[in-house]
Amino acid sequence: MTPGIRPLIAGNWKMNGSWRGSRRLADAVRDAAPALDCSLLVCPPFLHVQAVAATLLGSPVAVGGQDCHAKPSGAHTGDIGAPMLRDAGATHVLLGHSERRADHGESSALVFAKCEAALAAGLTPVVCVGETEAQRDAGHAEAVVGQQLSESLPLGFITAGGIIAYEPVWAIGTGRTPTEADIAAMHAHMRRRLVLAFGPTAELTRLLYGGSVKPSNAAAILALPDVDGALVGGASLVADDFIAIAQAVPRG
């Protein structure tokens, strides 16, 4: 945790769930939210954003998309623009998730453009960065993440409250996590890079950890310095697990 930052627990539902299932999951998170000492965000598939946003209207749980196009509208078959997400009730958007980078060849330059589109639409971007296993084994993890940060974030990112999620690619959906020392070192590295690039305002930028966060490891990870929350994939699909992770946020 970083003093002065309210932790955020975010759920990335990826390409899972039915309309009814998403509503049920959102209901459970909404009902648990008042007793939780953190901010909450859920990111359903595009098709369910509107229904989930309606379910969560008036609750403290925010809704995000999992991606957006770099252009606000136009001839881009199958894509979704940031203003559409906003219109459907989203306030946040995940950008540059490693599954987007891998499955759709997204570069940091594209993430930068998407970030600008999100900010222009009034959405808070959650930019994902992280190294592959080969890059970590070669000792390049900090350099890779540093480069992703410097290439992905436009000027207004920090002042608009943009969020970073450090997600080592090899820890996503594998049940494996870096050591606590490795997570703390990477988060300290990201904080230094951001403060150098954007100035002292970046001391209050939320830095989330993601990659196989579950109820059994959440308390230890969330207690680390400069870890201001978690981006949760698999465990966010089970309401009790997601809520248990949010309950593991250390009391500030």
Six token digits for residue 213: 């966060």
CB 42 within 8 A of CB 245: no
Please identify the residue of the shown chain whose CB is closest to the bound ligand PGA.
233
Just list the catalytic residues: 97, 167
Distance in Å, CB of 199 to ligand PGA, minimum: 28
Residue 126 lies near ligand PGA (rule: CB under 6 A): no
Distance in Å, CB of 213 to ligand PGA, minimum: 5
- Show Cβ contacts of residue 105 under 8 Å, excluding neighbours closer than 6 positions: none
Residue 172 lies near ligand PGA (rule: CB under 6 A): yes
Q: At what angle do helices 19-32 and 239-247 cross, to 10 degrees?
A: 30
Distance in Å, CB of 173 to ligand PGA, minimum: 4
Q: How far from chain centre, in Å, is Cα 218?
A: 15
Residue 194 lies near ligand PGA (rule: CB under 6 A): no
Six token digits for residue 197: 């690039």
Residues numbered 82 to 101 that lie near ligand PGA (CB under 6 A) are none
CB 87 within 8 A of CB 40: no
Residue 167 lies near ligand PGA (rule: CB under 6 A): yes
Residue 243 lies near ligand PGA (rule: CB under 6 A): no
Geometric angle at alpha carbon 10, from 7 and 14, rounded to 5°: 165
Buried b / exposed e along 115-139 (16+ C-beta atoms within 10 A): bbbbbebebbbbbbbbbbeebbeee
Q: How far apart are CA 131 and CA 14, in angstroms?
A: 20
* Per-state percent for the chain, helix, strand, coil, to nearest 5: 50, 15, 35
Residue 173 lies near ligand PGA (rule: CB under 6 A): yes
Distance in Å, CB of 3 to ligand PGA, minimum: 26
- Of the candidate residues 7, 8, 12, 162, the single one contacting ligand PGA (CB under 6 A): 12
- Of the candidate residues 149, 158, 163, 213, the single one contacting ligand PGA (CB under 6 A): 213
- Of the candidate residues 154, 210, 241, 249, the single one contacting ligand PGA (CB under 6 A): 210
Task: Point out which span in 85-93, 182-190, 194-202, 210-218 binds ligand PGA (CB under 6 A).
Answer: 210-218
Distance in Å, CB of 71 to ligand PGA, minimum: 25
Q: State the residues that interact with ligand PGA by CB under 6 A.
A: 12, 167, 172-173, 210-213, 231-235
